[in-house]
């Protein structure tokens, strides 16, 4: 069941090549992750099945990363965020 729930993350930036630790583009951020898609490295912070947690995290990073937005994954595959949010709400109501 746990691998079926959507995992939300905040995407903060995209780069055409992998950034080194401490790269200026990361603006001092140390706790980040990335995934590759369409030849780009897409950098994220946070990872939670709780949409509200990630929503708050996005608000926290907006000053450094004004373009930050929420994305979602299921089983390691990117998925539609609106669908993930609907599923999150449905599971919370049931659970």
Q: Tens digits of per-residue pLDDT, 25-77?
A: 999 998 999 999 999 999 999 999 999 999 999 999 999 999 999 999 999 99
Q: Which of 5-9, 28-32, 42-46, 83-87 has the lowest mean pLDDT?
A: 28-32
User: What is the per-residue pLDDT for 91?
Assistant: 86
Nearest CA to 7 out of 73, 54, 83 is that of 73
pLDDT for the residue numbered 36:
96
| pLDDT score at 95 | 55
Rounded Cα distance, 19 and 83, in Å: 31
Say what the pLDDT of residue 3 is. Answer: 60
| List of residues 6+ apart from 67 with CB closer than 8 A | 12, 13
Q: Which of the two residues, 4 and 94, has the higher pLDDT score?
A: 4
Q: What is the pTM of this model?
A: 0.92
């Amino acid at each position: 069941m746990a691998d079926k729930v959507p995992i939300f993350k905040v995407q903060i930036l995209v780069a055409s090549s992998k950034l080194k630790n401490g790269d200026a583009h990361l603006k001092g951020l140390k706790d980040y992750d990335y995934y590759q898609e369409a030849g780009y490295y897409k950098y994220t912070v946070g990872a939670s099945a709780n949409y509200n947690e990630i929503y708050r995290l996005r608000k926290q990073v907006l000053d450094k990363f004004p373009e930050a937005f929420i994305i979602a994954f299921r089983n390691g595959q990117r998925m539609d965020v609106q669908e993930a949010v609907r599923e999150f709400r449905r599971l919370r109501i049931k659970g």
